[in-house]
Amino acid sequence: MNSVNLTCVECPLGCSITVCLKDGKVESVSGNSCPRGKAYAESEVVCPKRVLTTTVKTADGRILAVKTDNPVPKADLMKLMQRINGIIANTPVKIGDIIVKNLIEGVNLVATDYLE
């Protein structure tokens, strides 16, 4: 059996969590103070995900802050950045506007800034 130690980031407590793995599958989780910690730890050792925050160029040469509206697999971040680097957004744009629909299945790239 293999174990992984994590610090939970789901709430301000920052619990020290131990995940025990057997044959690559979660056998047990300990040290969490809440159910969110258990879910975070299981996800983090099986398929870690992150919200991708970056910028894109606009047609008028300005920079627009954007992010994915849902977490994406950490292993896909570089592939997504290569795709995002070629995107040119049109203005005007407001916070929450979808810049790219289905950047990856079920995940949109949305504006986090307002540009007229």
Name the class of domain 53-111.
alpha beta
Provide the whole-model pTM. Answer: 0.81
Q: What is the pLDDT averaged over residues 42-58?
A: 95
Q: What is the pLDDT averaged over residues 4-9?
A: 95
Q: What is the pLDDT averaged over residues 63-79?
A: 96
Residue 53 CA to residue 72 CA, distance in Å, equals 11
Looking at every residue in the chain, the average pLDDT score rounds to: 95
The pLDDT, as a whole number, for residue 24 is: 84
User: 3-class secondary structure for the chain?
Assistant: CEEEEEECCCCCCCCEEEEEEECCEEEEEECCCCHHHHHHHHHHHHCCEECCEEEEEECCCCEEEEEECCCEEHHHHHHHHHHHCCCEECCCECCCCEEEEEEECCEEEEECCCEC
The pLDDT, as a whole number, for residue 104 is: 92
The pLDDT, as a whole number, for residue 94 is: 97
Residue ranges of domains in the chain: 2-46, 53-111
The pLDDT, as a whole number, for residue 106 is: 93
